[in-house]
Structure 1
Amino acid sequence: MAAPLDLDPSSSVLAYFGSELRRYRIAAGLSQERLGEIVNYTGALVGLIETAKRTPSREFAELCDAALGTEGALSRLWPLVNRGSFPSWFRGYVELEAAATSIQWFEPQNVPGLLQTEDYARALIQACWSDSVEQQVSARMERQRVLDDPTSPVLWTILDEAVLHRPVGGREIMRGQLRRLADLMRAQRIVLQVLPFEAGAHACSDGAMIMLGFSEGPDVVYIEGYGSGQLVNLPEEVKRCRLRYDLARAAALSPEASAAKIEALMEGP
């Protein structure tokens, strides 16, 4: 492990967070082990965060603020650290997602990130051979806070039926994921429709699409490919995407029939 003094605080936000944590800890007269005991984490993890080898969770930042008397300094840094967990090509979308008043999502392969359980997200990220699995899982879970806000956006999702049958992470993890979808629908947190196999070819057959609406300014469409993402804001292109989404929605099962299908799959073998 690199010595803390070798860390350049200006090299990244994560490095700056680590250097600030170390500075506050030393000022408080605490060892890494003692701080770890106070905040209920290991001293080894404190050391890894101080040397920018692990990304802190929001909880970790808040607990360290309380233990070190920093008046929230680390918690204020944390959103910047979390933003750095996303690929550069995805960060613009995340910022727009957080500001949107409506999100309309068509997904042909996986449960949308905003609706994933932690276990489901981890299984997906591991399948992509990522070298920063827990960092990406944490960032994805943090994105879901947008749904907990009193002013959370209206989220309308269309899932291809194949998404419900693909046992990501194994059957138990998938069952837990289906249960989360059912709970969110039951609590009227989201509107979800399943596009059944029998619909055949449909207007969104060529891939995932997300439409973001805002209280001010034009709608934006986000289209993602392998290792890249594209924001579409030309009015005519957005209009065409909206028509295709509406056609797919018309071909999908009703929310009630979709909930029944999900419940049936949860009870299956």
Structure 2
Amino acid sequence: MAVQRQDQDRSSPGGQGWERFGARVRVARENLGRSLDEVAEAAVVSSHMLAAIEAGEEAPGRRVVECLDRDFSACGVLLDAWARVFISARLADGMPVDRLEGDAAQVRIYDPFAVPEPFRTPEYAAALDRSASPMRRAPADDRGVRRLLRADHAPPYFRVVLDEAALHRPVGTPEITREQLRRLRSLIDKDHIALHVLPAAGPGHPCPRGGFRLLTFSPHHALAFNPHAFGPGQLITDADRVHGYTDLFSALLAEALPEHASAALLADAIGRETPRAITAGPPGDPLIATTSAADPAALARP
């Protein structure tokens, strides 16, 4: 998402925002009588990097700040201070939302129409692009999936709510849809990804207007994001509006199925999409018919 660039002292390491944060780290360390080496070891960084953080010359990542906050018994205060500077600096730099997600502690996603962007296979993403822009052919972009699973990256905790229809809506070819569902099934086996399906047979829909995301960086700092069919979408920073989206996600979660039931529904959707080979005639008959479990009429044909 492109955001107008602001003054350097708010947008980059070495500016006043990071200098104030670094000074706060230094004061907390000195008040505890700790050396740079002692604190650096607890935060799993070098003493040189910690000195650069304290001088405002280095912008630390969330995991380092979480270690510092825990080591200083700051109860989230230091993490809040980091999140305030981080969000301001990154928005001033025009950082897109998909890169902001990497430093969030939690990402909550609601998508009523399709498997959400961070979990799409390249083929599934390309098929969605083609359906939205039938006159234009854009290459698939799998950066979200690769970044999500990168070995050297500590991903956020993802909690995803999908409408049941998104599991059954064909996108591209049947094979593309099938592979996407299998991909989603493999991803939700990971500890940091939780899937909840909003059943089609449920009561009135809590959010009939479209999908959104919530990016939480610290106990008191979060952003909301509304994706658009074209363009970068709308990033929401106003605290009252973000709180409204937080309440809305809670309402969606209350109506959605728990994780184990959602996984079972996903497995059922994969089963319906998976072609199965059946044999006709006596044992050893070479006649083999390939059909889909989603087509009971085909199974009944002679």
Q: TM-score, normalised by structure 1?
A: 0.61
* Structure 2 CA distance for aligned equivalents of residues 148 and 215 of structure 1: 22
* Preserved contact between residue 103 and residue 153 of structure 1 (Cα < 8 Å): yes
Instruction: After TM superposition, give the deviation of residue 151 of structure 1 in Å.
Output: 1.2
Q: In structure 2, what is the equivalent of residue 199 of structure 1?
A: 202
Most deviating of 178-187 and 144-153: 144-153
Q: In structure 2, what is the equivalent of residue 17 of structure 1?
A: none
* Structure 1 CA distance for aligned equivalents of residues 227 and 95 of structure 2: 13
* Structure 2 CA distance for aligned equivalents of residues 205 and 128 of structure 1: 20
* Structure 1 CA distance for aligned equivalents of residues 138 and 220 of structure 2: 35
Give aligned pairs, total.
Answer: 176
From the superposition, tell whether residues 108 and 237 of structure 1 become closer, same or farther in structure 2 (CA, over 3 Å): same
1:148 partner letter: L
Structure 1 counterpart of 2:154, from 139, 151, 156: 151
* Preserved contact between residue 225 and residue 236 of structure 2 (Cα < 8 Å): yes
Instruction: After TM superposition, give the deviation of residue 132 of structure 1 in Å.
Output: 4.9
1:234 partner letter: D
* Structure 2 CA distance for aligned equivalents of residues 183 and 210 of structure 1: 22
Map 1:93-104 → 2, pairs under 5 A: 93-104=97-108
Q: In structure 2, what is the equivalent of residue 29 of structure 1?
A: none
* Preserved contact between residue 212 and residue 221 of structure 1 (Cα < 8 Å): yes
Kindly report the root-mean-square deviation, in angstroms, between the aligned alpha carbons of the 2 structures: 2.0
Q: In structure 2, what is the equivalent of residue 18 of structure 1?
A: none
2:149 partner letter: D
* Preserved contact between residue 132 and residue 229 of structure 2 (Cα < 8 Å): no
Q: In structure 1, what is the equivalent of residue 138 of structure 2?
A: 133
Structure 1: 4+ residue segments shifted above 6 A: none
Instruction: After TM superposition, give the deviation of residue 201 of structure 1 in Å.
Output: 2.4
Map 1:15-34 → 2, pairs under 5 A: none
Instruction: After TM superposition, give the deviation of residue 216 of structure 1 in Å.
Output: 8.0
Q: For structure 1, which runs of at least 5 residues remain unmatched after alignment?
A: 1-89
Instruction: After TM superposition, give the deviation of residue 261 of structure 1 in Å.
Output: 0.6
Q: TM-score, normalised by structure 2?
A: 0.54
Structure 2 counterpart of 1:230, from 205, 229, 234: 234
From the superposition, tell whether residues 213 and 146 of structure 1 become closer, same or farther in structure 2 (CA, over 3 Å): farther
Q: In structure 1, what is the equivalent of residue 91 of structure 2?
A: none
Q: In structure 2, what is the equivalent of residue 115 of structure 1?
A: 119
Map 1:81-100 → 2, pairs under 5 A: 92-100=96-104
Map 1:144-183 → 2, pairs under 5 A: 144-149=145-150, 150-183=153-186
Q: In structure 2, what is the equivalent of residue 106 of structure 1?
A: 110
SS in 2 for 1:186: coil
Instruction: After TM superposition, give the deviation of residue 217 of structure 1 in Å.
Output: 6.6
SS in 2 for 1:221: strand
Matched, 1:210 2:213: yes
Output one character per residue of 1:143-176: Cα deviation in whole Å (capped at 9) or x when no partner.
2233224411111100011100101012221111
Q: In structure 2, what is the equivalent of residue 252 of structure 1?
A: 256
What is the identity percentage for the equivalent residue pairs of Structure 1 and Structure 2? 31
Map 1:3-18 → 2, pairs under 5 A: none
Name the one with the larger helix percent: 1
* Preserved contact between residue 216 and residue 222 of structure 2 (Cα < 8 Å): yes
Matched, 1:219 2:222: yes
2:238 partner letter: L
* Preserved contact between residue 115 and residue 181 of structure 1 (Cα < 8 Å): yes
Q: Which has the larger radius of gyration?
A: 2
1:181 partner letter: L
From the superposition, tell whether residues 91 and 259 of structure 1 become closer, same or farther in structure 2 (CA, over 3 Å): same
Matched, 1:267 2:268: no
* Preserved contact between residue 164 and residue 178 of structure 1 (Cα < 8 Å): yes
* Preserved contact between residue 218 and residue 233 of structure 1 (Cα < 8 Å): no
SS in 1 for 2:201: helix
